[in-house]
Structure formats: structure tokens, C-alpha cells
């Protein structure tokens, strides 16, 4: 739920980063793996990489950004000091792809519960 809220701008990225950094290392790696899957489901494409890097706020020379620029995933296997950067980058990629998907494929409304989060009261999420 948190990842979808972040992708849709319903939760500030700083709050998402704080949540992510509060997880155990193992759970952080699981979240990164899930984000990669979500990006695939949202139909992220290689052309989204540069915008994702710019939106994430990490430098293009950081390892996760270099990986994404080459359309390589596996950020969950990076050293622990790269995990938060990977999280920020993958949230940005997911946001870009999910926004496009909602505009193109769900514009007339859809039954995807995760695309209708703004209709729910904040404390219900």
C-alpha cells in the first residue's frame, strides 16, 4: 500500500524513505525486489530511466542510477549503503510508469484497488 501511495504522490517521498530506512536490511531488499516487479507490471520502459534518475534526486553516477541507465536491475543485491538510493530510484520509476498506465489504460476508471487509493480515507489505508 505504501509503495502505491508513494507512486501516486499520496505520501511524501521523504516519509517513504523514513519508512524504508526503518526496515531491517532483509526487508529492505524484499521491498526493492517488490518495486522491481511493480515497475514491470506498470510497464516501465527503458526511456523512463533518465527521468527516474532526475526525479529520484540521486546522482547519475551512483551505482543504482548507472544500473538503471543500462536497464539493469538487481538493486536488492547491492551493498547496504546503496539500498536507500535504490529505493528512491525505483519509487520514481514506478511513479512514472504507473502514472502513464493510469492515464492510458485506466483513464475511464478501473477496478484496480491500488489506482483508487485517493478515494479512501487516509486512516483506512
Q: Whole-prediction pTM value?
A: 0.83
The SS3 call for residue 66 is: helix
Predicted confidence at residue 110, as pLDDT, reads 55
Q: Which residues of the chain have pLDDT under 70?
A: 105-125
Predicted confidence at residue 117, as pLDDT, reads 46
Q: Of how many residues is the chain composed?
A: 125
Predicted confidence at residue 103, as pLDDT, reads 77
Predicted confidence at residue 118, as pLDDT, reads 54
Predicted confidence at residue 55, as pLDDT, reads 95
CA distance 78 to 86: 9
Helices 83-105 and 25-41 pack at an angle, to 10 degrees, of 30
Please check whether residue 99 is in contact with residue 79, taking contact to mean a CB–CB distance below 8 angstroms.
no
Predicted confidence at residue 109, as pLDDT, reads 62
Query: pLDDT over 90 for what percent of the chain?
Result: 72
pLDDT in tens, 71-88: 999 888 999 999 999 999
Amino acid at each position: 500500500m505504501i509503495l502505491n501511495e508513494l507512486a501516486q504522490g499520496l505520501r511524501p517521498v521523504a516519509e517513504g524513505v523514513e519508512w524504508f530506512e526503518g526496515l531491517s536490511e532483509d526487508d529492505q531488499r524484499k521491498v526493492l525486489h517488490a518495486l522491481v516487479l511493480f515497475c514491470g507490471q506498470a510497464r516501465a520502459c527503458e526511456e523512463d530511466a533518465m527521468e527516474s534518475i532526475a526525479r529520484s534526486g540521486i546522482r547519475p553516477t551512483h551505482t543504482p542510477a548507472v544500473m538503471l541507465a543500462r536497464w539493469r536491475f538487481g538493486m536488492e543485491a547491492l551493498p547496504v549503503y546503496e539500498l536507500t538510493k535504490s529505493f528512491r530510484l525505483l519509487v520514481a520509476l514506478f511513479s512514472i510508469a504507473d502514472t502513464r498506465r493510469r492515464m492510458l489504460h485506466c483513464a475511464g476508471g478501473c477496478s484496480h484497488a491500488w489506482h483508487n487509493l485517493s478515494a479512501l480515507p487516509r486512516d483506512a489505508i
